[in-house]
Amino acid sequence: MPVRQFGRFSLSLHIQMTNVMKRDILKSTLPIALSFFLKPMLHAQESVDAEYYRRLDSIMQRRNAEQMAQQAVVLGDFKRLEDEMEFHFDWAHPMTKGLVLCFTQSSFREREATFREYHKSKEDYAVAAAPFAINWALKAAGVKSQSSTQRMITANAMALALHVGLTQGIKTAVDEPRPNGVDNKSNPSGHTSLAYMSAAILSREYGYLSPWVTVGSYGCATATQYLRMRHNNHWINDTFIGAGIGMLSVDLAYYLTDQLLGAKEINNLGNTRLDLLRMAKQNTMPSGLRYMAGTESGSKTIHMRDLQILNGYGGTAEVKTSAAYAVGVDASLFLNPYFSIEALARMSSAHAKVDATPSASKSEFFSGDSFTMYHFDLAANFGFPYNITKRLGYKALLGVRSTQSLTLDSYTTDAAGNLNSTPFIHVPGQTKFEVGAGMSYDALDHKNYAVGFNIEYYHTFSSIMPNRYTALATWKVFF
């Protein structure tokens, strides 16, 4: 091949090979170049989309939470309204206890004795009616209540009618003598029925203002119950049945009123910030003050070795006591969610009678009177929440018990029919150490306080009624 043609051929081949190589290089490098420039743009677009969706999801979750909170409030308000309109059975506990005591204390009541009369009926009425008067004073002052004026007037008038009708009707039917022998209208206690009716109304209408409203109102009721026994006007079973009648009168009156007037007469009081704080305290460190009331029983006989016979009586004699009504307070300080220290003070009043054989030569019977004991104790308590609104606790106690001195008389009737009294037997007062153990239950109530019960056993290092136990209803206010 001539040199000239070879040169042209070589040049043509070089050009073709160069074009092929450029095409191949372009095919191989173009995707790399595109990815190099476009990938950051694609990542940026992905980041923008992800951030947008994250923000959108956060907004939706917040709105859902707000809607759920609003629904919870609405459901809570509906539940409170539903509870308010239901027929309540809180009267059943004191009524049942009173009926049981009617049978268990019957032999003690039948034992003949003459009890001192204290003439305190008017003072006891003042304590009993105080919550009812406060209820209407608050209404007159314009303080918002659970009920409209129409509902309150209707329900309160109906409760008063039921209280009077049931109390007086049962008194007439039962015809039981009072301890002081004034008449045969002992069972049930009208003062106690009025007191618990008053307390239930004030708590129902204005308990939302403060837990002290409820605790104070039931404090007046239990004080009335204690005083009616202490003043020898009623047996212990009379007061518990009276308490049940008072609470039943209110529950039935409000239920019937709501059936007549409907829900429109019930004011929506709603939850407050304090309600939520109290729920948090119930589950963490519920330090507070607990008011207690109920029964104390156990050893009921004071034997002759512990008595002083005053008139040279040569036979055997003992003092028998009834079940006691007890009231007290308990202050607790939680050191952590499970452990607390407590200080307790409680007094209890029982009826006491002489158990002795009258002399054969003369007509003789004996006096009776109330007998009071005081307990002062410190306790270590271990407790825990087992529900968002409920707690159980177990405690060990150490303290002292003080008993009052008591003198009971003998009465004789001479030939002329005159009644003569002589001091017969003396129970010396004493203060002794005691130990005990118990359990407690508290449940957060929708009226901003905790309700529950205490069951405790005490052993006193004394020969006078050494073993005692209590069953107490409790109302607790958080610090």
190-206 and 236-261 are packed helices; what angle lies between their axes, rounded to 10 degrees? 40
Positions of E strands within 49-196: 114-115
pTM comes to 0.80
Task: Answer positive or negative: Cα dihedral of 132, 137, 140, 141.
Answer: negative
Task: For residue 15, name the pLDDT band (cuts at 50, 70, 90).
Answer: very low
Residue 342 confidence (pLDDT): 96
Q: 128-144, pLDDT tens digit by residue?
A: 999 999 999 999 999 99
Q: 217-235, pLDDT tens digit by residue?
A: 999 999 999 999 989 999 9
Residue 11 confidence (pLDDT): 42
Q: In a 10 Å sphere around its CB, with 0-12 CB exposed, 13-18 middle and 19+ buried, how is residue 82 labelled? A: exposed
Residue 49 confidence (pLDDT): 63
Residue 419 confidence (pLDDT): 73
Task: For residue 76, name the pLDDT band (cuts at 50, 70, 90).
Answer: low
In this structure, what are the phi and psi dihedrals at residue 225, rounded to the nearest 5 degrees? -60, -45
Task: For residue 208, name the pLDDT band (cuts at 50, 70, 90).
Answer: confident
In this structure, what are the phi and psi dihedrals at residue 231, rounded to the nearest 5 degrees? -90, 10
- Position of tokens 């002399």? 359
Sequence-distant (≥ 6) Cβ neighbours of residue 204 within 8 angstroms: 146, 250, 254
CATH number of 86-270: 1.20.144
Classify strands 406-413 and 419-427 as parallel, antiparallel or unpaired: antiparallel
Could you tell me which CATH class the domain 286-479 is placed in? mainly beta
Q: 430-464, pLDDT tens digit by residue?
A: 999 999 999 999 988 765 578 899 999 999 999 99
- Name the average pLDDT for the chain: 83
Cβ proximity of 282 and 444 under 8 Å = yes
> Percent of the chain, pLDDT > 90?
53
Q: Say if residue 123's pLDDT is above 80.
A: yes
In this structure, what are the phi and psi dihedrals at residue 88, rounded to the nearest 5 degrees? -90, 155
Considering only CA atoms, which of 128, 349, 122 is closest in space to residue 232? Answer: 349
Domain ranges of the chain: 86-270, 286-479
Q: Say if residue 13's pLDDT is above 50.
A: no
Residue 34 confidence (pLDDT): 44
Q: 259-317, pLDDT tens digit by residue?
A: 999 888 888 766 666 666 666 777 788 899 999 999 999 999 999 889 888 877 777 88
Q: 62-74, pLDDT tens digit by residue?
A: 776 556 555 545 5
∠ Cα 443 447 453 (to 5°): 30
What is the identity of the amino acid at 245?
A: I
Cβ proximity of 249 and 107 under 8 Å = no
Residue 168 confidence (pLDDT): 95
Considering only CA atoms, which of 349, 282, 332 is closest in space to residue 438? Answer: 332
pLDDT mean over 381-406:
91
Q: 85-101, pLDDT tens digit by residue?
A: 889 898 999 999 999 99
Q: Say if residue 210's pLDDT is above 90.
A: no
How far separated are the first and last CA of the chain, in Å rounded? Answer: 117
Considering only CA atoms, which of 406, 407, 381 is closest in space to residue 392? Answer: 381
421 versus 296: which is more confidently predicted?
A: 296
